[in-house]
Amino acid sequence: MSRKPSSVVALYPGSFDPITNGHLDLIQRGSRLVDKLIVSVLRNESKEPLFSVEERTDMLREVVQVYPNVEVDSFDGLLVDHAVARGATVLLRGIRAISDYEYELQMALMNRRQRPEIETIFLMANEAYSFISSRIVKEVASLRGNISGLVPPSVEARLQRRLSKIKHRGA
């Protein structure tokens, strides 16, 4: 029987392109469950992100600075290898709908197969944020829809500026 570590470090991975209030809700709730929560941006250029990894980590740092036990970084490669390198024994994942659960379950089982010592904790999305995804936020914003309340105000401003630049280039 393994013992609980003296300090529990969790890793919350994602693309965060951009961070939404749903992500922030999970960060806030997750930070209460562990000693340290590392929010880690996945470097996956095949997804053609709107914001660079550096921009996403800057946005995250800006909005999580109010949580003293939360830090931000980025990674590429296997998530479980990154978790081990950072001393994390827990992966934090959010679930919005049944479709998320099916995907997350597959990932959790594969992660467990790779590194059995790392546990995955699922938090259900707050119902107020259960429909929000970065993809939907970007789509609505690109069509000049109202995204206030879906992302932090500083992120909304960056998103509007970025989409405005893209529209001007394409015009």
Domain covering 9-130 assigned CATH 3.40.50.620 in the classification: yes
Average of per-residue pLDDT values in the chain: 92
Q: Which residue has the higher pLDDT, 19 or 98?
A: 19
Domain ranges of the chain: 9-130
Tokens for 118?
């790392």
Convert the pLDDT of each residue in 102-151 to its tens digit: 899 999 999 999 999 999 999 998 998 888 999 999 999 999 999 999 99
Q: Which residue has the higher pLDDT, 168 or 30?
A: 30
pLDDT at 155: 95
The pTM of the full predicted model, rounded to 2 decimals, is 0.91
Tokens for 2?
């393994």
1 pLDDT above the threshold of 70: no
pLDDT at 168: 63
Task: Provide the greatest CA pair distance for the chain.
Answer: 63
Q: Tell me what the mean pLDDT of segment 5-28 comes to.
A: 94
pLDDT at 143: 92
Number of H-type helices and E-type strands within the chain: 6, 5
pLDDT at 98: 83
Write out the catalytic residue numbers: 23, 47, 96, 134
Query: Starting at the edge strand that comes first in sequence, how are the strands of the sheet with 90-95 ordered?
Result: 70-75, 36-42, 9-14, 90-95, 119-124
**What Rg value do the Cα atoms of the chain yield, rounded?**
16
169 pLDDT above the threshold of 70: no
C-alpha pair distances (Å), 55 with each of 32, 34, 117? 26, 26, 32
**Cis bond leading into 49, ω under 30°?**
no
